[in-house]
Chain A
């Protein structure tokens, strides 16, 4: 079907664009120590709120005279680190539970499904606020909170796919061959959800980044004086009147990061093998939570 090929090609380009931008952001973040013209924390109190280009600051300075360009370069560290770790934790946890729950069924499945329901009944942002306020703030807690609000997406997707697959002819064939449960889960079911997980994880990454930014914005994520995009927007929003760049530039960086992750995820999810399922499910699950987070 040529129709498919040509549309896929076009999407592929958008997907590649996403991957490239994402790659660039990651690269810039990794190379920040080399590339940044200034220490992201160094203040120049004589030149606070400098406009882009003023006093030799390419993108201007913030209220404390810190170089915005340097801060932007460092600013993705926390979101990316927290995002990737949270996606890993949530993804592994959700996928493992989804596989087991979907294959084994029974009361454990019921229990976990209810748990996921409950998890969904708590708007993610509220849960995160609650835990961060009463459980203390640290990167580890942040990762856990974001992972905690992310696992139901994987769990539900994987579980529903596994529910469909477990009675599929090829799984039944494996059972007839005498394959043990763990083998079926690892060799028959896991490959079947691989694509699904890849897409979910990519889209979940954008959710995690958005949530980290949202929490940092509310003062519960990264802490001053750290350079963190979400925090920088919060710090700069009071200065919109006179120095818009302090808030707007990090905001735009955040948008670029999220867009690229989304583009990539979109692209992956449009590929045949995942049948657009994760997008749909995510729009039911994580997207809504991302929204509430941001």
Chain B
């Protein structure tokens, strides 16, 4: 088990390292960042001075090393637009994003579970998958085909503008959370519901379901056992989705003016606030990777086979 954890940890670090290197390279391939960072109207000398101060005149390899050294310690240069440590800017915005993402995730889990169990119950009754009873899956399919921004726009239009039921922007109060959370969840429900449904019906098709019935179990109990069995793939997708959720916040936070890291990264990119982009991306990537590490570790808890095989699946 320990080796498994270490191995996953190693892979995780490699992934983080690679992702950060990619960010670093993309940013540096666009030229001297000092040019972008210098205040408007800055002279050549000022830019050069700024470049020196931030170390952009040094060889790329050296900068690369420093960058990682600093990133490891959570140190990034000050944000240009906010004039304070870039990481602080990010962490200040964090609660908003986490609230939104967590709400959306919970919402998505509930919906996905309902959709999956609905289908599962149908299968257990002998209904064929894809039958009319599976309309929830149809909705899921629809949701999967609608761009997130368009869902947001529609929700704003219907609930914010037409019906005026709910606030459409800003992070104030629980009401304001509803529409962005739904929009964000819409992106996560389809993969989650599908995977849960598919693995649930897959589990139900496995012989142990028949064993359960042959022992005289009620359908509900059989369904519960099968749901337990389908947790593994579901949690895998959940992990990936939790990461995708962070990516999704980029758009949703923009549609709904939600003051979180997703909106921040767009602003930072637009302002070419190089340190802030770095800090923000580093944070998002790390969060994504950590979530997936947690998911990997959850495998062992969820599936005894993984636990005993010391990993490799």
Inter-chain contact B247/A126, CB cutoff 8 Å: yes
In the assembled complex, A271 has its CB within 8 A of some CB on chain B: no
Inter-chain contact B144/A240, CB cutoff 8 Å: no
Inter-chain contact B149/A294, CB cutoff 8 Å: yes
- Give the chain B neighbours of A115 by CB distance below 8 A: 18
For residue B152, give the distance in angstroms from its CB to the closest CB of chain A: 9
Instruction: Flag B140-170 by CB within 8 Å of A: 1 or 0 each.
Output: 0110111111100110110001000000000
Identify the closest chain A residue to B31 (Cβ).
A134
Instruction: Flag B251-289 by CB within 8 Å of A: 1 or 0 each.
Output: 100110000000001100110100001000100110011
- Give the chain B neighbours of A289 by CB distance below 8 A: 244, 247
Instruction: Flag B220-256 by CB within 8 Å of A: 1 or 0 each.
Output: 0000000000000100110011011111101100110
- Give the chain B neighbours of A293 by CB distance below 8 A: 247, 251
Identify the closest chain A residue to B251 (Cβ).
A214
In the assembled complex, B15 has its CB within 8 A of some CB on chain A: yes
- Give the chain A neighbours of B30 by CB distance below 8 A: 134-135
Inter-chain contact A259/B191, CB cutoff 8 Å: no
In the assembled complex, B111 has its CB within 8 A of some CB on chain A: no
Q: How many residues of B contact A (CB 8 A)?
A: 63
In the assembled complex, B171 has its CB within 8 A of some CB on chain A: no
For residue B112, give the distance in angstroms from its CB to the closest CB of chain A: 12
Across the interface, A291 reaches (CB within 8 A) one of B22, B150, B187, namely: B187
- Give the chain B neighbours of A244 by CB distance below 8 A: 157
- Give the chain A neighbours of B19 by CB distance below 8 A: 118, 121-122
CB contacts between A and B, total, < 8 Å = 188
Inter-chain contact B269/A129, CB cutoff 8 Å: yes
Inter-chain contact B247/A291, CB cutoff 8 Å: yes
Inter-chain contact A117/B15, CB cutoff 8 Å: yes
In the assembled complex, B130 has its CB within 8 A of some CB on chain A: yes
- Give the chain A neighbours of B145 by CB distance below 8 A: 206, 255, 258-259, 262
In the assembled complex, B2 has its CB within 8 A of some CB on chain A: no
Instruction: Flag B177-199 by CB within 8 Å of A: 1 or 0 each.
Output: 00000000001101100110010
For residue A29, give the distance in angstroms from its CB to the closest CB of chain B: 18
Of residues 14 to 51 in B, which have CB atoms within 8 Å of A's CB atoms? Answer: 14-16, 18-19, 22-23, 26-27, 29-30
Identify the closest chain A residue to B184 (Cβ).
A291
Inter-chain contact B191/A283, CB cutoff 8 Å: yes
In the assembled complex, A222 has its CB within 8 A of some CB on chain B: no
Across the interface, A292 reaches (CB within 8 A) one of B144, B187, B190, B194, namely: B187
Across the interface, B147 reaches (CB within 8 A) one of A3, A214, A241, A248, namely: A214
Identify the closest chain A residue to B186 (Cβ).
A291
In the assembled complex, B206 has its CB within 8 A of some CB on chain A: no
In the assembled complex, A123 has its CB within 8 A of some CB on chain B: yes
Inter-chain contact B244/A135, CB cutoff 8 Å: no
Inter-chain contact B241/A288, CB cutoff 8 Å: yes
In the assembled complex, A217 has its CB within 8 A of some CB on chain B: yes
Identify the closest chain B residue to A115 (Cβ).
B18
Most buried by B among A126, A230, A259: A126
Inter-chain contact B247/A292, CB cutoff 8 Å: yes
In the assembled complex, A233 has its CB within 8 A of some CB on chain B: yes
Bound Cα distance from A11 to B141, whole angstroms: 14
In the assembled complex, A52 has its CB within 8 A of some CB on chain B: no
> Known contacts being A214-B147, A218-B266, is A291 close to B26, with CB within 8 Å?
no
Inter-chain contact B128/A3, CB cutoff 8 Å: yes
Bound Cα distance from A237 to B240, whole angstroms: 30
In the assembled complex, A87 has its CB within 8 A of some CB on chain B: no
Identify the closest chain A residue to B11 (Cβ).
A117
Bound Cα distance from A83 to B43, whole angstroms: 43
Bound Cα distance from A121 to B187, whole angstroms: 18
Inter-chain contact A284/B156, CB cutoff 8 Å: no
Inter-chain contact A7/B130, CB cutoff 8 Å: yes
> Known contacts being A218-B251, A248-B157, A288-B240, is A130 close to B146, with CB within 8 Å?
no
In the assembled complex, B129 has its CB within 8 A of some CB on chain A: yes
Inter-chain contact A294/B22, CB cutoff 8 Å: no
Bound Cα distance from A130 to B27, whole angstroms: 8
Inter-chain contact A240/B157, CB cutoff 8 Å: yes
Inter-chain contact B26/A254, CB cutoff 8 Å: no
Identify the closest chain B residue to A230 (Cβ).
B147
Instruction: Flag A220-235 by CB within 8 Å of B: 1 or 0 each.
Output: 0000000000100110
For residue A49, give the distance in angstroms from its CB to the closest CB of chain B: 15
For residue B189, give the distance in angstroms from its CB to the closest CB of chain A: 10
> Known contacts being A7-B129, A114-B15, A248-B157, is A123 close to B237, with CB within 8 Å?
no
A-B residue pairs in contact (CB < 8 Å), sample of 9: A118-B19, A118-B22, A121-B292, A122-B285, A123-B247, A218-B254, A218-B266, A288-B240, A294-B149
A-binding residues in B (CB < 8 A): 11, 14-16, 18-19, 22-23, 26-27, 29-30, 128-130, 141-142, 144-150, 153-154, 156-157, 161, 187-188, 190-191, 194-195, 198, 233, 236-237, 240-241, 243-248, 250-251, 254-255, 265-266, 269-270, 272, 277, 281, 284-285, 288-289, 292
7 tightest A-B contacts by CB? A292-B247, A123-B247, A118-B18, A291-B187, A294-B147, A288-B244, A134-B30
Given A130-B23, A284-B240, 17 other A-B residues pairs in contact with their CB atoms under 8 A: A118-B18, A122-B23, A122-B281, A126-B285, A130-B269, A134-B29, A217-B147, A240-B156, A248-B153, A248-B157, A255-B142, A284-B191, A284-B195, A284-B237, A288-B243, A291-B187, A291-B244
